[in-house]
A and B are shown apart, each in its own frame.
Chain A
């Protein structure tokens, strides 16, 4: 009885509660939406103040604004607007043009010295930019042996500053990289850095102290100056009123900046950045747009996509220190089997450029068009037949040859090395698909192509840190797929990558390639100061490398960048994309 009563009573009570709670929930949801909309209206109301500010989306936050420490690309996107070099690249010819320098460097071959005249310029704090700043920067690098800069300056013997607008560098030995690499580093202000340097020298680890110095207000000569950095949210650079190029014509280009400032906003993912771009929250997403977003972005009339070439190299490397890849015939056969057209059209969906050499074709001056082209123009069967022919001539045998007696291609099995031993299975290390799906997929495809010839290849996606440790530190691998997204436009990296003496722990000759002829030409190229003569040597190096194939160039991905078209005009396209110093100096509100 009591239960029935209780239930009946409970039912009434609960109906009441129900009705009330539904009412409460309705009220709350209406209130919630109203508050949100009001907040939105209130907060959006203050957006008009920054009409001429270019909003740039970054994928990650810059790690440091200490110019000597910063190594991540995000920091450099910001620092590149503040610190400036003596020379920059012309967007069309890619030749070096004077920037903080007033004219081209003058070489005195007798004294092995370069004289650089400086442009009248001021730092963002209003003080004059002088030759003392340039000399200070170079001396600081050499004294502290700053990583990444040291090798560009260690051959400079002496620096003179005859007057505030002239600086003279005396080299210990001829060095071809002096102008393209040494004179393109950012110049730091002596006034700001000298006290920091003195303080660092007094500590137990001066280099660490210098690198760990937290730079909160970097002073530069660039078109923008840091106004505010809200960690985790945004970084605001305002127009530098002292910028030396303001209102002037440099390299035939009328410079601004014509915008009030740059606002760098951090997005953790491309998804968020692309949505922000579509919504109009950012004007430029300074990162390559992945192919999955392109169709969607193309349909938006307010968004413009720029497709640029990159100075990049994605390649397959071999460990030539040990069998089986110490045999150039096998490497050539492997190069023959790799179908670059498939990689470009199917894996990269057309957003890539074929690489015939280890210098990207976009680097027009240094790219050698006459290198051996393995398998070009051949279809899949033609490639297999050609690779089979190469290996057969070199003494390789098969239990089941990949080309039968009637000349048809079949699946090869039981490949044996020229010494009669069976080829053991080997792994192709690739970055994992979540790091780079293209390289992971290339590894899978190459595994299949090699297996068609009976070569027992296994693609193994490996965590990036582990891959680098195996390849670069331990040299414990057979083959790998890696890439450089931002190669220097000076081709000295060819020497760095393949010089015999760089085959060491943590050295850049990861393949362990040894060729005395290559070493001789490479060393000569490093000493040749006449550009045209150096080009001959660089071309010769490319030909040797494509004949010996320690690396097989796979592709050079194109860079697709998205901008909002309705707010700004004057985007400057160049190798490496529209995010360059010329764009930020020339961009104008519409």
Chain B
């Protein structure tokens, strides 16, 4: 009952926060200098054409009316038409979202699994060479500048060695081949994922490793670990069955939030690898003042982050019976 009340309370909070985000987003884009039409530097575009386009886009209406239209669009799930694509924003996002989710969710899960595993080992060897190597390695890879790492990987493995494609998500040779089946196309996507996935993995696994390591070190000081040892349990059992599940809680929070933020994609990763995801669209829509597309993209991120927070909180209660709301 208490958990249910807590969830209801959080839902009310989320609704209020969401409305604030909704309004701030609207104002932010309207108050930013420039509008979508003033960027059109084609001399063939007369002032009359510009005014007409502004009218077509609804930007000549008072701000209050624009806000009401914006709210109406949101509640009817319409989100408006992208100024640049001329397509419903929902369609533009829907086309790109699965690509982003595929790459980033895979990278986060992979990074988390490896990070937890290595963090566990590092903490078990605290102060030893293994710990130093892993900790320093994690710190180094985690602090690398992502575009630099990506370009190095592209240059070495894509260009010099020629093992992997240097950009994109699919090969036209496979997708234009009428004989290519589902498996070949799936393998093609997997093949294109290797370099961006490696980049994201190298950048992210270190964070999970460090979180897991420090959480494990705290856990290993607990009395129940001493009790387990006193009972004569195998070291592996103590580490894997008693310490690790409890130590993994902070990693769960981190993974939950990372998954939420993966919706926006890494604009940098997607740009360097020309991965057709939502991150690139986000950058494009903001730089080109494509208000509907930018607003919808940010709202999507806001919704997912808010809900993920709630899910992580609830999951905490499930994973750790001591936590009660």
Contacts and interface: CB of A to CB of B under 8 A. Distances in A.
B121 A17 contact: yes
A212 B169 contact: no
Given A63-B84, A148-B42, A488-B43, A465 B177 contact: no
A248 to B, nearest CB: 29
Nearest to A263: B172
Contacts of A272: 154, 166-167, 272-274
A61 B99 CA distance: 16
B154 A205 contact: no
A145 B49 CA distance: 8
Given A46-B173, A145-B52, A468-B34, A493 B159 contact: no
Contacts of A497: 43
A436 interface: no
Contacts of A10: 124, 235
A150 interface: yes
Contacts of B194: 36
A407 interface: no
Contact of B173 (A49, A71, A152): A49
Contacts of A205: 56
Contacts of B23: none
A49 B180 CA distance: 12
Interface residues of B, number: 74
B274 A266 contact: yes
Given A275-B154, A275-B155, A469 B167 contact: no
Given A63-B84, A275-B166, A468-B38, A40 B154 contact: no
Interface string A503-541: 011111000000000000000000000000000000000
Given A36-B164, A505-B47, A232 B272 contact: no
Interface residues of A, number: 84
A407 to B, nearest CB: 45
A79 to B, nearest CB: 14
Contacts of B56: 205, 207-208, 211
B280 interface: yes
B276 A71 contact: no
Given A49-B177, A231-B95, A268 B272 contact: yes
B271 A236 contact: no
B85 interface: yes
A293 interface: no
B235 A6 contact: yes
Contacts of A150: 46, 48-49
A179 interface: no
B13 interface: no
B40 interface: yes
Nearest to A145: B52
A472 interface: yes
A281 B177 contact: no
A267 B275 CA distance: 9
Interface in B226-266: 229-230, 234-236
| Residue of B32, B171, B234 with most partner-chain A CB within 10 A | B171
| Residue of B40, B151, B168, B272 with most partner-chain A CB within 10 A | B168
27 contacts: A14-B130, A36-B164, A36-B191, A46-B173, A49-B177, A50-B172, A50-B173, A50-B176, A64-B87, A149-B44, A151-B46, A207-B52, A207-B56, A230-B172, A233-B169, A234-B175, A263-B172, A267-B167, A271-B151, A272-B272, A272-B274, A276-B166, A465-B35, A466-B33, A468-B34, A484-B41, A488-B44
Given A212-B81, A276-B167, A506-B51, 7 more contacts: A14-B124, A214-B87, A265-B168, A266-B168, A266-B276, A269-B274, A472-B38
**3 tightest A-B contacts by CB?**
A232-B276, A465-B34, A147-B49
Interface of B: 32-35, 37-53, 56, 81, 84-87, 95-96, 99, 121, 124-125, 130, 151, 154-155, 158-159, 162-164, 166-177, 180, 184, 187-188, 190-191, 194, 229-230, 234-236, 270-274, 276, 280, 289
